[in-house]
């Protein structure tokens, strides 16, 4: 079993640390935020992530995980140092590498001889070299080991991945990183750093492409009177297409897809290739926010100014409390700008949302719909399916639902006199 330092305890770092400890390694996680370090040391998990509390408790009890302030305190005794710091979007769409470089510069002087530095942050192609330079150590190998973790199911994605990708020019370092994954049932591929880094961007951009395509198909379905739910079912039976990631919605968001898709377009441009198609994928997503907002306006009729709208869902998808680049926020921003009076409910959001200053966030789904003219469903939370529709019908001023996730039972709503509209279906 190995000694692993994890630098950064965001959802990628924390999941990586906890899962490696679960696999039997000795893990020290570092962060720059003292409050976070204290909370994690007490076993308190700051993110909504299935199973992570349980695995953290087990690892703490077994003495296999510790949390410390500052990267050097974690890196001084490690055999592997995983960089899991953020790579936010820079002003020009490219990924900002300053946190990765700063972390590498900080741990460079203290890493034991022969340690391996592993990049898990999503970094532009060529960043392995940047990390090597920032470390300033010829005895340290740098390996790229991108993450493919979905928020909400990150633990299960880590322990049962579709694949593990390792990119390195040093075969011995790649083999050492591969050995950390003993017990993980997945194909493991070793490639060069540039290919490993490109795999991560290409995978995310492809999934985003699939979603923009499906949202485009939904628009076609509306125009020709087809039902997108049946269309994607029929498409998904084709094993070359697959059933996953074919649900239309209000657009895609989250901390990865928008940032990584823009970054790949930028990487291509910098490398002299104009990836027009990818820009189209991004444009289609912005269009989708507009389309959903326009549908709400259409259902209200005339001006939306001062009209009461209810929203269910604020997070970028269900089973997370993450609001970063949430399609729900994009749609509500557009409605708010046109003067709509909005009340929103989300099971994971308590209190106001900074990007939506005019929107009142309420504590239950009924308060949101009270006196509203349209209810717009923006996140696919399971619990929305079980809300008492008779009560919703009684409370609303007009019985109208725009189901931007095609989540609710259309016939149950129609039976109660609702004007129901979905995405890609009437
Ligand atoms: C994503 C990738 O899936 C993961 O591999 C990567 O490492 C990080 O980015 P995540 O951001 O957690 O994970 O979200 P994901 O579950 O992929 O969903 C992204 C967006 O697409 C959400 O807004 C979601 O609602 C939307 N989506 C997803 C759809 O609209 N329809 C679908 O069928 C699937």
Tens digits of residue pLDDT in 3-33: 999 999 999 999 999 999 999 999 999 999 9
DSSP structure class, residue 165 = E
At residue 140 the predicted structure's pLDDT band, cuts being 50, 70 and 90, is very high
Is residue 200 located within the same domain as residue 186?
Answer: no
Tokens of 360: 């009142």
CA 410 / ligand 1 centre spacing (Å):
25
| Residue whose CA lies nearest to ligand 1 atom number 29 | 247
What per-residue confidence (pLDDT) applies to 357?
95
The SS3 call for residue 384 is: helix
Is residue 175 located within the same domain as residue 268?
Answer: no
Structural domain span for residue 410: 192-426
Q: How far apart are CA 34 and CA 70, in angstroms?
A: 9
Is residue 243 located within the same domain as residue 377?
Answer: yes
Is the Cβ atom of 204 under 6 angstroms away from ligand 1?
Answer: yes
Q: Which helix (H) or strand (E) holds 60?
A: helix 52-61
Instruction: Pick the last residue of a domain from 154, 174, 191.
Output: 191
CA 204 / ligand 1 centre spacing (Å):
9
Is the Cβ atom of 399 under 6 angstroms away from ligand 1?
Answer: no
What per-residue confidence (pLDDT) applies to 334?
97
Tens digits of residue pLDDT in 279-303: 999 999 999 999 999 999 999 998 9
What per-residue confidence (pLDDT) applies to 392?
98
At residue 126 the predicted structure's pLDDT band, cuts being 50, 70 and 90, is confident
Instruction: Pick the last residue of a domain from 191, 217, 246.
Output: 191
Is residue 120 located within the same domain as residue 99?
Answer: yes
Is residue 184 located within the same domain as residue 53?
Answer: yes
Is the Cβ atom of 381 under 6 angstroms away from ligand 1?
Answer: no
What per-residue confidence (pLDDT) applies to 90?
82
At residue 94 the predicted structure's pLDDT band, cuts being 50, 70 and 90, is confident
What per-residue confidence (pLDDT) applies to 77?
92
Is residue 176 located within the same domain as residue 225?
Answer: no
Is the Cβ atom of 165 under 6 angstroms away from ligand 1?
Answer: no
Is residue 119 located within the same domain as residue 218?
Answer: no
Tens digits of residue pLDDT in 343-376: 999 999 999 999 999 999 999 999 999 999 999 9
pTM (2 decimals)? 0.94
At residue 421 the predicted structure's pLDDT band, cuts being 50, 70 and 90, is very high
Determine the residue of 208, 218, 249 to mutate for testing ligand 1's pocket, defined as the one with the most ligand atoms within 8 A of the Cβ atom: 249
Assess whether pLDDT exceeds 90 at residue 426. Answer: no
Is the Cβ atom of 328 under 6 angstroms away from ligand 1?
Answer: no
Among candidates 353, 364, 348, which has minimal Cα distance to 331?
A: 353
Is residue 65 located within the same domain as residue 92?
Answer: yes
Averaged pLDDT, 103-117: 96
Q: What percent of the chain has pLDDT over 70?
A: 100
Q: How far apart are CA 244 and CA 240, in angstroms?
A: 11
Q: In 378-422, where does DSSP find H-type helix?
A: 389-395, 410-415
Assess whether pLDDT exceeds 90 at residue 182. Answer: yes
What per-residue confidence (pLDDT) applies to 125?
87
Name the residues annotated as catalytic. 256
Is residue 289 located within the same domain as residue 420?
Answer: yes
Q: What percent of the chain has pLDDT over 90?
A: 93
Assess whether pLDDT exceeds 90 at residue 153. Answer: yes
What per-residue confidence (pLDDT) applies to 37?
97
What per-residue confidence (pLDDT) applies to 315?
97
Count CB atoms within 10 A of the CB of residue 147: 22
What per-residue confidence (pLDDT) applies to 221?
98
Name the domain count of the chain: 2
Tens digits of residue pLDDT in 365-415: 999 999 999 999 999 999 999 999 999 999 999 999 999 999 999 999 999
Residue listed under structure tokens 């034991």: 112
At residue 138 the predicted structure's pLDDT band, cuts being 50, 70 and 90, is very high
Determine the residue of 186, 199, 257, 285 to mutate for testing ligand 1's pocket, defined as the one with the most ligand atoms within 8 A of the Cβ atom: 257
Mean pLDDT computed over every residue of the chain: 96
Ligand 1, atom nearest to 250 Cα: 30
Looking up residue 120, the CATH number of its domain turns out to be: 3.40.50.720
C-alpha dihedral (374, 388, 349, 53), degrees to nearest 10? -150
Instruction: Pick the last residue of a domain from 164, 191, 218.
Output: 191
At residue 91 the predicted structure's pLDDT band, cuts being 50, 70 and 90, is confident
What per-residue confidence (pLDDT) applies to 38?
97
What per-residue confidence (pLDDT) applies to 95?
81
Assess whether pLDDT exceeds 90 at residue 321. Answer: yes
Assess whether pLDDT exceeds 90 at residue 88. Answer: no
Among candidates 317, 285, 255, 315, which has minimal Cα distance to 88?
A: 255
Assess whether pLDDT exceeds 90 at residue 177. Answer: yes
Is residue 126 located within the same domain as residue 211?
Answer: no
Is residue 239 located within the same domain as residue 110?
Answer: no
Is the Cβ atom of 322 under 6 angstroms away from ligand 1?
Answer: no
* Least confident piece of the model among 85-99, 162-176, 292-306: 85-99
Is residue 60 located within the same domain as residue 16?
Answer: yes
What per-residue confidence (pLDDT) applies to 145?
96
| Residue whose CA lies nearest to ligand 1 atom number 1 | 150
Tens digits of residue pLDDT in 242-261: 999 999 999 999 999 999 99
CA 317 / ligand 1 centre spacing (Å):
7
Is the Cβ atom of 122 under 6 angstroms away from ligand 1?
Answer: no
């Amino acid at each position: 079993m190995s000694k692993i330092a994890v630098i950064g305890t965001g959802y990628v770092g924390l999941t990586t640390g906890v899962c490696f400890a679960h696999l039997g390694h000795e893990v020290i996680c570092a962060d720059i935020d003292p409050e976070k370090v204290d909370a994690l040391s007490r076993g308190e998990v700051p993110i909504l992530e299935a199973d992570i509390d349980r695995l953290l408790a087990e690892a703490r009890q077994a003495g296999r995980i510790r949390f410390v302030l500052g990267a050097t305190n974690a890196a001084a005794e490690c055999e592997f140092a995983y960089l899991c710091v953020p790579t936010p979007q820079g002003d020009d769409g490219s990924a900002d590498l300053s946190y990765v470089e700063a972390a590498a510069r900080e741990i460079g002087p203290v890493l034991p001889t022969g340690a391996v530095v592993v990049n898990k942050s999503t970094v532009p192609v060529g960043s392995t070299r940047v990390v090597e330079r920032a470390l300033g150590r010829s005895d340290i190998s740098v390996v790229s080991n991108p993450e493919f973790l979905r928020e909400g199911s990150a633990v299960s994605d880590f322990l049962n991945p579709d694949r593990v990708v390792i990119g390195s020019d040093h075969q011995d370092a790649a083999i050492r990183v591969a050995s950390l994954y003993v017990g993980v049932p997945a194909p493991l591929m070793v490639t060069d750093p540039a290919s490993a880094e490109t795999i991560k961007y290409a995978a995310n951009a492809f999934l985003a492409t699939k979603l923009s395509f499906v949202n485009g198909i939904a628009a076609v379905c509306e125009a020709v009177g087809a039902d997108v739910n049946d269309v994607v079912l029929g498409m998904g039976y084709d094993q070359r297409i697959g059933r996953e990631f074919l649900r239309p919605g209000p657009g895609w968001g989250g901390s990865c897809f928008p940032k990584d898709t823009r970054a790949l377009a930028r990487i291509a441009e910098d490398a002299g290739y104009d990836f027009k198609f990818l820009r189209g994928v991004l444009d289609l997503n912005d269009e989708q926010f507009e389309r959903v907002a326009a549908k709400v306006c259409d259902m209200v009729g005339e001006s939306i100014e001062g009209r009461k709208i209810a929203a269910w869902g604020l997070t970028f998808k269900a089973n997370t409390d993450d609001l970063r680049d949430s399609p729900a926020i994009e749609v509500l921003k557009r409605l708010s700008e046109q003067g709509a009076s909005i009340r929103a409910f989300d099971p994971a959001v308590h209190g106001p949302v900074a990007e939506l200053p005019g929107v009142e966030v309420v504590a239950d789904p009924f308060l949101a719909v009270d006196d509203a003219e349209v209810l717009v469903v923006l996140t696919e939370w399971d619990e929305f399916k079980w809300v008492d529709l008779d009560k919703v019908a009684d409370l609303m001023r007009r019985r109208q639902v725009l189901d931007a996730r095609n989540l609710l039972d259309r016939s149950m709503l129609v039976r109660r006199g609702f004007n129901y509209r979905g995405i890609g279906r009437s």
